[in-house]
Chains A and B, each alone.
Chain A
Amino acid sequence: MQNARPNQLFRNMTAKIAAIPMILTALCVFVGGTVWTIVYSFTSSKLLPRAKFVGFDQYERLWSTSRWTVSLENLFIYGLCSLVLSLIIGFLLASLLDQKIRFENTFRSILLYPFALSFIVTGLVWQWILNPEFGVQSVVRGAGWIGFSFNPLYDSELVIYGVLIAGLWQGSGLIMVLMLAGMRGIDQDIWKASRVDGIPMWKTYILIIIPMMRPVFITTLVIIASGIVKVYDLVVAQTGGGPGISSEVPAKYVYDYMFQGQNLGQGFAASTMMLLAVLIVVIPWAYLEFGSKNRG
């Protein structure tokens, strides 16, 4: 935009006034809250936040805890799989629904409804479906395939994939809807033009539509990624972090130590580490987004 011209100052005033809630939220809540969290991560706060500083003690302890390392590993596996699969599944489903089909509303609602349900029970239902004694495994065995084995939840190597199945089921509908909204924002003339030129549909999607949907992809990426970092309820409901500690995640570590263990300092140290990791991703992104050109 031509926002650099000084004579637009007055008109941009309206924009600035309109953005006051955003500015306040960004500064007071997010910056303020983050600084507050970081400061108190250097204290020995227990039940209440209190300014008794202990240096890096909380961090030393954090990194010597096996549960924290296991949590990070799980987050990495879960995050990577969830990111890639959500994007692929979401985009494929959206492009299927975008074929001007009948009953679009019905199909879309079916794919989206899991998003409306509480995580607690979603976790429970998937706990059942994946349970070796009365879930999928027993049904397949009952159908005659005796050697069939599918028991992700009670196997400490596989349990995180069991959580992934439920997570994708719950969240991919939203990604699909987002992609669909993006596709609907695209000028219909593009399709006409590509049809006139005889470009195959899949090529049009990959070469024209996806690049045009870049902003929507970024939105989707942030939504998925923030969901991954904060994944908590699902694990609590489906596995409780078990068997043992093999499906623990960082957010659960943070909450368990803040509220169960009543060691706010330890919880804040863990969340500071999480936020640091996020910063490492967000800052280069902001650089790319705003540094190179005016509009993404």
Chain B
Amino acid sequence: MDKVNRLEGPAGPRPKKAFSGRNIMLYGTLIMVSLYYLLPLYVMVVTSLKGMPEIRLGNIFSPPMEVTFKPWVKAWSEACTGLNCEGLSRGFWNSVRITVPSVIISIAIASVNGYALANWRFKGADIFFTILIFGAFIPYQVMLYPIVILLREIGLYGGLPGLVIVHSIFGMPILTLLFRNYFSSLPEELFKAARVDGARFWGIYFRIMLPMSLPIFVVAMILQVTGIWNDFLFGVVYTRPEYYPMTVQLNNIVNSVQGVKEYNVNMAATILTGLVPLVIYFVSGKLFVRGIAAGAVKG
């Protein structure tokens, strides 16, 4: 825990000494909070490694007496959905096929929206923006049938492109808000300087705004990857079975009850499904460095 203050890059207030009371408080608090956040994960992992008889004994916090990986194997490759007994593995690649384009397209559209709204405000923009914010509050189940009809009319019902559109539509309100507010909190001088240099709409977007906005892109990615990867309803309503994402299997595993609920398999399936977003959180965290803004002004 020493030499905390020797890291690269500009920072918030600088801690004075490595072992100061302040640092002990800081790390103490963080560790306590982390333990609290980890407790349910602990329960899940421990449960997923137990056999059903042990789970019925009912001590959710005790470590497994006999570790078994069967629930994990079952969740991944054996759990049944009706007659298909291929577990989560069945829809994994479909989920990837859905998530990758949906995340990229929805973030691309929303960041351009936010940029246009923050820096190139045109007449009526505020109205559309207000409608979008309102859209964030519409429960999407209510929109289920109108969108089915909409997609049918433009001939995209049942396929991947239709689903990508749906994800882009429902991600748009929050993401646009996110980018708009972030871009408008950036120092205005940057934008003005670029305009004076003769840069246009796209030039400023790609050369000034994008490099300065990595943290907010990470947040947008976190939101979208999680939302789209975990989506069940849109995946089944707007596509055919050959595109069904792995959450269809997850829903079947955790929602279909085979006499006794197999809690260990449920837990394993949930952790397995959550792994992809988790990896992305961790990897993309590197982009969360600060000081880009300051660097851009001076560099």
Contacts and interface: CB of A to CB of B under 8 A. Distances in A.
Direct contact between A and B judged by beta carbons closer than 8 A: yes
A182 B178 CA distance: 10
B5 interface: yes
Contact of B41 (A23, A113, A216, A278): A113
A268 interface: yes
A174 B176 CA distance: 17
> In terms of DSSP, what is the predominant structure of the interface of chain A?
helix
Contacts of A146: none
A111 B37 contact: yes
A99 B135 contact: no
B291 A181 contact: no
A28 B146 CA distance: 10
Given A216-B185, A254-B142, A125 B43 contact: yes
Interface stretch (B66-74, B79-87, B94-102, B274-282): B274-282
A283 B5 CA distance: 46
Interface string B268-290: 01110110011001100110111
Interface string B100-116: 00000000010011011
Interface in A4-61: 11-12, 14-16, 18-19, 21-23, 25-34, 36-37, 49
B40 interface: yes
Contacts of B291: 188
A101 B142 CA distance: 45
Interface in A89-121: 93, 95-102, 104-105, 107-118, 120-121
> In terms of DSSP, what is the predominant structure of the interface of chain B?
helix
Max chain A C-beta neighbours (<10 A), residue from B128, B139, B202: B139
B1 A102 contact: yes
Interface residues of B, number: 113
Contacts of A97: 30
Contact of B215 (A36, A185, A254): A185
Given A3-B120, A121-B270, A218-B181, 9 more contacts: A1-B121, A12-B120, A18-B112, A104-B288, A107-B34, A111-B37, A118-B230, A129-B39, A134-B60
Interface of A: 1, 3, 11-12, 14-16, 18-19, 21-23, 25-34, 36-37, 49, 93, 95-102, 104-105, 107-118, 120-122, 124-126, 128-129, 133-135, 139, 169, 173-174, 177-178, 180-189, 191, 195, 201, 204, 212-216, 218-219, 222-223, 225-226, 229-230, 232, 251, 254-255, 258-259, 267-268, 271, 274-275, 278-279, 282-283, 285-286, 289-290, 295-296
Interface of B: 1, 4-5, 7, 10-15, 26-27, 29-30, 33-34, 37-41, 43-44, 58-61, 109, 112-113, 115-122, 125-126, 128, 130-143, 145-147, 150, 168-169, 172-174, 176-178, 180-182, 184-187, 200-202, 213, 215-216, 218-219, 222-223, 226, 230, 247, 250-251, 254-255, 263, 266-267, 269-271, 273-274, 277-278, 281-282, 285-286, 288-294, 297
8 contacts: A15-B122, A25-B135, A26-B135, A100-B7, A214-B185, A215-B182, A255-B141, A275-B137
